[in-house]
Amino acid sequence: MSVSKIKALKGERPVVMVTAYTASVASIASRHADILLVGDSLGNVIYGMDTTVSVTMEMMIAHGRAVVKHAGYPLVVVDMPFGSFQESKEQAFRNAARIMKETGCHAVKIEGGIEMAETVAFLTSRGIPVMGHVGLLPQSVNALGGFKVQGRGEEGLDQVLRDARAIAEAGAFSVVLECVASHVAEPVTANISVPTIGIGASNACDGQVLVIDDLIGLTENTPKFVKRYAEVGGQIDQAIKAYSDDVIARSFPEHDTHTFS
């Protein structure tokens, strides 16, 4: 999969994107997804942070490298963490180039609308593919006053539309729409030339993305927009309990099966 192929999917079929943070998940998800996103959501689901604001470049690079190494077919996109691109377009280029060099990923993702258009244009004109991200911006949760649905009312719709259009026209190859009111996705998708990828943005988008831990049932609090396709958390609990019971009963390890002569 490549950036040009992702762009060509608009109007052809929906884009399938899922987050991946580890080698094992990347290997499995690569069989089914068009894009693997090494999201800064790893701060929440792996490191137990309340927000993504504290995620570092080192975290993104370490997990990005693991995913790239075990991703076959999909395009791999790595989030640029908070503070790594907002200061200036030159800062953004240095950090984006570092991420791509040290992980081998195919593109980076940047949160922000009109205010980030100049940065997106600066990066894309210098050979760094960029995925945009508008609507709810988790890195701006403190400024937004919490995780709130965006795009409500005509004014809200107009803001999301202007943000998405600015990022697409600046050269982004796709735009994530996060947690926006249901009437937003269709006009935004119709008015930009690159695929929209929704998360909590309705099926009017050109594709969808979910956090892998939400998708497979590893998180306790499931957002309204998530469909849980498995309950892996319960299976892990049962497996560890069975292991614990065997250890206490001294039935594991078994002498002939799990030991060396």
Active site residues: 178
Q: Is 213 annotated as a binding residue?
A: no
Residue 79 assigned to a binding site:
yes
111 annotated as ligand-binding: yes
Tell the residue number behind the tokens 């205010």, with chain if given.
Answer: 115
| Tokens read off for 8 | 């060509």
- Distance of alpha carbon 161 from the chain centroid: 21
DSSP letters along 160-175, please? HHHHHHHHHHTT-SEE
41 is in an annotated binding site: yes
Question: Buried b vs exposed e over 90-125: b needs ≥16 C-beta within 10 Å?
Answer: eebbebbeebbebbebbbbbbbbbeebbebbbbbbe
Q: Residue 93 and residue 156: Cα distance in Å, rounded?
A: 30
Q: Residue 87 to residues 43, 65, 83: CA-CA distances in angstroms?
A: 22, 25, 7
